[in-house]
Chain A
């Protein structure tokens, strides 16, 4: 890298979020750059390309107001770093990690590269510890485990942030009673959404164990590239240096991908699907793969990225590629949302790939997995019967079909639906699951062992 602090004044071009500086001899890829305008205002950027005496710089705060004449680029000889310490908990920062809570810059224990250090795959520990979120549909059917990355696929206007905030407030590890430190990264969200999250953590007393990074909708779009990385760097320090269990919420990853597309277009790269760069998958993986557990380290990072699917399209490149990397997904259903069912989790589209390793005897309850499977099976049948009854009418249905219709309603009203501030124990969740399963004839419970039916089926006798 060049001598720290060398400034170059020959800005030859400003193209979208990019600044091209000439006469640069020893800049490095990803090096942090401080850009100073003619008025002395400073912005941050990073080197995207370097060669033939030119450096292409991506300006995080955008290039609006910059001019070719009088703009200076100072190469700082390091990649972007964030100060980390325990004192970051209870603090609020902007998307680049600068304090916006009226308090001073945090005094760092260390400075960490925002790109993080990949976890050695051999040192990774398989996630197995059940996290109780207090939300029946998640605890009962889409169990979250410590160290998992489980995204919420949502749509515009749906209550994904309310659900994420509820999980952040309520998440505990059963038995240990350990609460999570929460790292929340708002990526291009509305002010009201960020405020809701802050207020929600404040009211539950969880703000003291939370760190918030807020890039709002009116903040520069390019800053969004950095926000999740800054948040995850802090999460890694809390988890792997301070042994905390950290829940990271990244909302909304669609805005992150949009910013990536903007830069890619400005660099005139060959576009992939819907104009997103061909490396979108790899780029998303550099974020999502920062979740996990490490052998012999007590802490963990559980990631809950939220992404709003454009036009509710689950085949859109962002949810599509996210689904390949993460360990399942929670999909919010527009239909349930319209019917005023909260949380509107479309269970048939949702899945937690690590659930099987986090539930069962010794972890939750012996019948948990079977109950979940039976609920899936019966709700799928209920949906089929609903579709059928639309065509043939209720009169054309058999007695058993009618039972499944009732089951569908009971499942949505008694099991799925709950209040925003309702924190259900796992016992209550499973009790409710058995309540709704007991609306079906015993013979229909084909996924559950007889011993559990004997113990929990309520309509028997």
Chain B
């Protein structure tokens, strides 16, 4: 009887084990299928995320590249501007240093006469004219001529430090006209610079 019972028990145990085993296999298979499914889904989203990251990075790289190229171009252009400025200034400096030699040219006296006349035109009949030591005799002579010609009262003031030209003022000091070459060059500098730069084909 006990032997029979053992057999029955064994069969039941086997059945249960087999049932559990098949359930487990089914569960494992289902989990495996689910995992595969999830993996496939993740793969798609991963790929989409990956392409987003790549796209964003390539956009950033493109921006960085453009920024670097443009910055370099700008730096080169700025360096070029500094070099041109230096060259133009050198030419201007050289030209100014040669002005002293122009004094012997008869056109210098014509220019001085024009500068004095225009100063008197702006200031009026009572004027004080100042110039450098080198031009003093010439200015004295022109002033005397103009005094007789227009019946002006012109005084020759103290010497001033300048390349050439004159500075005129009314006797009460309320009006001043700086017609020195230094001042005129300064006023015309932007135009002179443009003309000099053109010589460099800029």
Contact = CB atoms under 8 A, between A and B. Distances in A.
A205 B82 CA distance: 22
Given A2-B122, A207-B74, A111 B190 contact: yes
B175 A6 contact: yes
A87 interface: yes
A208 interface: yes
A206 B70 CA distance: 8
Contacts of A3: 118-119, 121-122, 177
Contact of A87 (B63, B66, B81, B122): B81
A431 to B, nearest CB: 18
B102 interface: no
Nearest to A72: B176
Most chain B CB neighbours (cut-off 10 Å) among A6, A10, A103, A207 = A6
A387 interface: no
Contacts of A111: 190-191
A103 B81 CA distance: 8
Interface string A20-35: 0001000000000000
Contact of B82 (A23, A83, A104, A106): A104
Interface string B160-202: 0000000000000111111100011001001101100100001
A105 B190 contact: yes
Given A203-B63, A205-B69, A9 B173 contact: yes
Contacts of B122: 2-3, 6
Nearest to A421: B63
A113 B176 CA distance: 26
A7 B183 CA distance: 12
30 contacts: A2-B122, A3-B177, A4-B187, A5-B178, A5-B179, A6-B122, A6-B123, A6-B175, A7-B177, A8-B174, A8-B175, A9-B175, A23-B175, A90-B74, A90-B77, A104-B81, A104-B82, A105-B193, A107-B85, A107-B88, A107-B193, A111-B191, A202-B67, A202-B71, A205-B70, A206-B70, A207-B71, A207-B74, A208-B70, A208-B73
Interface in B11-45: none
B147 interface: no
Contacts of B69: 205
A382 to B, nearest CB: 31
Most chain A CB neighbours (cut-off 10 Å) among B69, B88, B118, B194 = B194
Contacts of B121: 3
B84 interface: yes
Most chain B CB neighbours (cut-off 10 Å) among A106, A111, A205 = A205
A101 B39 CA distance: 58
Contact of A10 (B67, B71, B77, B174): B174
A23 B184 CA distance: 24
B51 interface: no
Contacts of A7: 175-178
B78 interface: yes
Nearest to B121: A3
A6 B177 contact: yes
Nearest to A203: B67
B122 to A, nearest CB: 4
Nearest to B68: A205
A205 B118 contact: no
The 6 closest A-B pairs by CB, nearest first: A205-B70, A3-B122, A104-B85, A7-B176, A205-B66, A107-B197
A33 to B, nearest CB: 14
B55 to A, nearest CB: 13
A219 to B, nearest CB: 23
B63 A204 contact: yes
A106 B77 CA distance: 12
A420 to B, nearest CB: 14
A304 to B, nearest CB: 22
A109 interface: yes
Nearest to A111: B190
A108 interface: yes
Given A6-B123, A107-B194, A204-B63, 16 more contacts: A5-B177, A5-B184, A6-B176, A8-B174, A9-B175, A83-B190, A105-B193, A107-B84, A107-B88, A107-B197, A108-B190, A109-B194, A202-B67, A203-B63, A205-B71, A207-B74
Interface in B68-116: 69-71, 73-74, 77-78, 81-82, 84-85, 88
A191 B179 CA distance: 41
Contacts of B82: 103-104
A148 B193 CA distance: 37
B97 to A, nearest CB: 21
A107 B88 CA distance: 10
Nearest to A101: B78
B69 to A, nearest CB: 7
Interface in B121-143: 121-123
Interface string A437-461: 0000000000000000000000000
A179 B82 CA distance: 28
Contacts of A205: 63, 66-67, 69-71
Most chain B CB neighbours (cut-off 10 Å) among A2, A3, A23, A107 = A107
A104 B83 CA distance: 10
B111 to A, nearest CB: 15
